[in-house]
Amino acid sequence: MHDPEWWILGKLWAYRSQTEPFIHIDSDVFLWKSLPNAVAKAPVLAQNPEYCIFGEHHADGWWYRPEIFDIRLKNMNGWLPEEWNWYTANRRELAYCCGIFGGNHVKFINHYADLALKIVTDARNQSAFSLMENKPGDCLLIEQYFLAACLEYHKQHADSNFQGLQVECLFESPEEAFSSNRSEEVGYTHLIGRAKQSQEIAERVEKRVAQDYPHQYERCLKYLKSISFLPALSELKGFRDLRSESQIAHDLSNALNLTHHAPDQHIIDGIGEIPADGTSFCTITITKHSLDGTPLTTEEHQDELFLRTTGGLIMDATGETHIRSLHLQNGQATFRLISEASPKLVTVSVFGQNPNLTKAEIQIEFI
């Protein structure tokens, strides 16, 4: 039984087990369009290249710390593959993000995955691993940095069975991968980091799945009810047993959507930022919509909604009155979030009395 912090083990086992060309897509990745032919037919494919800086593990790429990982293992008589030793000796800084990964050269991928698994499981490394505090980050080092090490090592050795092997990336850089325009063009969504917790993004993904794959969406609803994640039919107020699953799905998807005008200064996490000075604010807008995105503006949808935040102050739209609830008008309402005087990441929640109306949340960072 291995340390559960090594979350890459399942992926590496999957890579090593393949016998035919394949594509592996992470569970937080959504592929909306077919891959370009150049990527789909490549010997090895990945999401995008990315880079670390030797000796600067507190930079943006803090999870890539090859020099620290290397020293700790070797100081305790650990084992590392020849590809790793060659790559770090040359202080190489390239890695490949594996949000999507695979290819047509299955023998190379099996070889790489087998060695990556051995790094984690080799008995000679366990003493060093027991003292390491950054194993979730080192998972990316073993999966993604070591992938580049294998590719570059065999590319440089003429006697290798994998000499000259090329990798094709879906995006040319991390910035391109997380550019909304480019991602939309390619049809690719990767919810890394805190983006997985975004209520707005979750609702957008749910809406898209319901529109494009309605039968699979209904199967998901049935499963969630079967494990009591959603209430049973008899417990849903206002529903009759004669209503179809699709009607129930529609009603359960009447949702609240939150948007803000705070500038989004981070290319990855999608979180808006305002100064942590106790006076700056952002305006948050609530809208109520149906499954297909249609705004719900009639009188029956003018809900009273309750507002909560883990930090800062919630004020009315003019900034004059502290509030804890408001009413939708024509399916919409706005309010202000005032910052605190110290840096903090806060979550703003909006919910109503109607049990069939999904709760909405949005995160704002005071910086």
d(CA 256, CA 250): 14
Residues 6+ apart with CB under 8 A from 203: 255, 257, 358, 360
Contact status, residue 251 vs residue 239, Cβ threshold 8 Å: yes
Instruction: Quote the Cα angle for 239-241-242, to 5°.
Output: 100
pLDDT at 154 over 80: yes
Per-residue pLDDT at 249: 47
The predicted model gives 162-186 an average pLDDT of 89
Spans of all domains in the chain: 9-176, 191-366
Question: For residue 46, which of 19, 15, 67, 20 has the smallest C-alpha distance?
Answer: 15
What pTM was estimated for this model as a whole? Answer: 0.60
More confident position, 336 or 240: 336
Q: Both tokens of residue 348? A: 């703003």
pLDDT at 167 over 60: yes
- Kindly report, residue by residue over 236-283, the tens digit of the pLDDT: 443 333 334 444 444 445 678 899 988 776 555 678 899 999 999 999
d(CA 219, CA 278): 47
Per-residue pLDDT at 353: 82
How far lies 67's CA from each of 49, 89, 118, 339, in Å?
A: 19, 9, 19, 40
Per-residue pLDDT at 241: 37
Contact status, residue 200 vs residue 258, Cβ threshold 8 Å: yes
Contact status, residue 282 vs residue 336, Cβ threshold 8 Å: yes
d(CA 360, CA 251): 16
- Kindly report, residue by residue over 98-153, the tens digit of the pLDDT: 999 999 999 999 999 999 999 999 999 999 999 988 888 899 999 999 999 999 99
Per-residue pLDDT at 61: 47
Contact status, residue 68 vs residue 131, Cβ threshold 8 Å: no
Superfamily classification of domain 191-366: Immunoglobulins (2.60.40.10)
